[in-house]
Amino acid sequence: MNIVFVLFDNVTQLDFSGPVQFLSRLPGAKTHVVNKDGKAVSTDCGFAIVPTGSFAECPQADIICVPGGHGVRQAIADAAIVNFVREQATAATWVTSVCTGSFILGAAGLLHGKRATTHWAYTQLLPLFGATHEEARVVRDGNLVTAGGVTSGIDFALELIAMAQGEDVARTIQLALEYDPAPPFDGGHPSRTAAPIVSGLRDRVYHSAAADMEVAINAIL
């Protein structure tokens, strides 16, 4: 089983590293971490990730996963990235994304008429690609599986493992990696976070970030 992760500069590393840690444990899986040229890509944490290869060297994916990050604004306008995702998706068993990686799927024409999700601060932009936002941490529509923001990628990976190879396999991997979340605070989503914290974060970060993303999306439509 070929599992392909598509990287680009300024990717959110946990969008990628969370699910790859789990999906790489699938029995029979071979993980391919690729970008345009096989050279290191920058992350939003100040370090780089070295892919296993380039798009040209990548086999056909059984599972293709596209993470998000601020670099999505540039990635959706990059023909090499968008065409690679589109071509791989035609024969992939599962087409997936984490966080704003969904917008790269959208740029490839893979969200039209589908239910999908993305990071909570950007869900209002999904209809620009013809998608309907569904309020859930992980959303499946046919062979399309999209996850919400960042840490949702771990939940997504476990759900996908269960769909691909059964719940016992998923539970075994969950136990092996001791995924037993017990966050110290009740929050992590606007519906469960104090309004002043939500509005403060929107004002400092996400109003402008979502506006910039909308400009980038409209530029390719």
Note the pLDDT of residue 37: 97
With respect to residue 15, please indicate whether it lies within any of the assigned structural domains. Answer: yes
Question: Is 196 among the domain residues?
Answer: no
- CATH assignment at residue 61: 3.40.50.880
Residue 96 within any structural domain of the chain: yes
Q: Give residue 157's Cα distance to chain centre.
A: 10
Q: Residue 205, SS3? A: helix
Domain count for the chain, please give it: 1
Long-range (24+ apart) CB contacts under 8 A made by 124-131 are 124/210, 125/210, 125/213, 125/214, 125/217, 126/102, 128/214, 128/217, 128/218, 128/221, 129/103, 129/105, 129/217, 130/106, 131/102, 131/106
Question: Which amino acid belongs to residue 119?
Answer: H
What tens digit of pLDDT does each residue of 66-94 get? 999 999 999 999 999 999 999 999 999 99
Domain assignment present for residue 27? The answer is yes
> 188-214 pLDDT, tens per residue?
999 999 999 999 999 999 999 999 999
Q: Which residues are catalytic?
A: 99
Q: Is residue 205 part of a domain?
A: no
In this prediction, residues 92-112 reach a mean pLDDT of 98
Q: Do the domain assignments include residue 175?
A: yes
Classify 105 as helix, strand or coil: helix
User: What is the token pair recorded at 108?
Assistant: 């490839």
Residue 170, C-beta contacts closer than 8 angstroms, at least 6 positions apart: 158, 159, 161, 162
Residue 203 lies in a domain: no
What is the spatial distance between Cα 162 and Cα 151, in angstroms, rounded to a whole number?
18
74 is in which domain, residue-wise?
A: 2-182
